[in-house]
Amino acid sequence: MEEKLGKGLDALIRDIDEQENPNTGITTLPITRIMPNRYQPRKLFDDGKLRELADSIRENGIIQPIIVTKTDDSEYELVAGERRLEGAKLAGLTEVPVIIRSVSQKEQLQLAIIENIQRENLNPIEEAGAFQRLIDEFQMNHEQISEIMGKDRSTITNSLRLLRLSQPIQDMVLQGTLTSGHARAILAIDEEKQLDFARFIITNALSVRQSEEKVREYNPEKPEKKPRPEKAPAVPKDPYIVSIEEQLTEVLGFKTTIQDKDYKGKIVIEYKDQTEFDDLIRKLNLE
């Protein structure tokens, strides 16, 4: 399933179509029997675009069927196609064409995210929130999300950083008052000054570039620290300890150092990000 997800929603729909029925695999359901997708990442819909979609549906019908899954109580839950479903309701339809597909909760969330990204971009906060749900609810790491979504791992990481902003600033991004570029500039500001800086950007209609230039004014450079007195030359490390460090580094795949004095001390294993942390936990069999 995940291999299909990486190829795009259209590839998934073709795959489902082939498995459901050699002819079409499409049926119709009353709109009232389709429950919203509990994992839908989109919080806001553009009313103008939704009305345009409804007009198109009145004129041409629903070209591509909606994907649903059957629930335990014999009702149906939306998997993909929320905008089409909402457009159909607005157009006054009582039934819609559907493909019924058995999917896991994880796949429901993945498909909802992918459809929104491929068909109509999610707001940056909605997208970050959806990625965070994949981490929280399905224990996925940044690398796994990047593979499924077809995005660089750094893109996933930078997206998730937006959730560090306070809720009022997240709301500004959610409503489109600030862009993700503005949000990243705000993240460079000391936390207690971020909301004030966000309001300053909006009041003065600053571009992202102008906002980045203003960061220095809100974050004045701190005075240089006085140079520390030179330390005494380090005592050469015991060759045996060095050998153990090298062996641990090779076995774990992470730089490992041993701070030892008369066989008392600590072992330090270094990792750079959440993905490396997750890899380390797996190697130590702690999951």
- Other C-beta atoms closer than 10 Å to the C-beta of 46 total 12
Domain ranges of the chain: 2-122, 165-218, 239-271
Q: At which residue do the structure tokens 């992202």 appear?
A: 208
Choose the weakest-confidence range: 10-14, 37-41, 45-49, 144-148.
Answer: 10-14
DSSP code, position 160? H
Whether this prediction's pTM lies above 0.75 is answered by: no
213 is catalytic: no
The pLDDT assigned to 127 comes to 83
Chain CA centroid to CA 130, Å: 5
Mean pLDDT of 121-139: 80
pLDDT, residue 119, reads 53
Q: Which CATH number fits domain 2-122: 3.40.50.620, 3.90.1170.10, 3.10.110.10, 3.90.1530.30?
A: 3.90.1530.30
Considering 75, 82, 107, 221, which one is annotated as catalytic?
A: 82
Q: What's the pLDDT score for residue 120?
A: 52
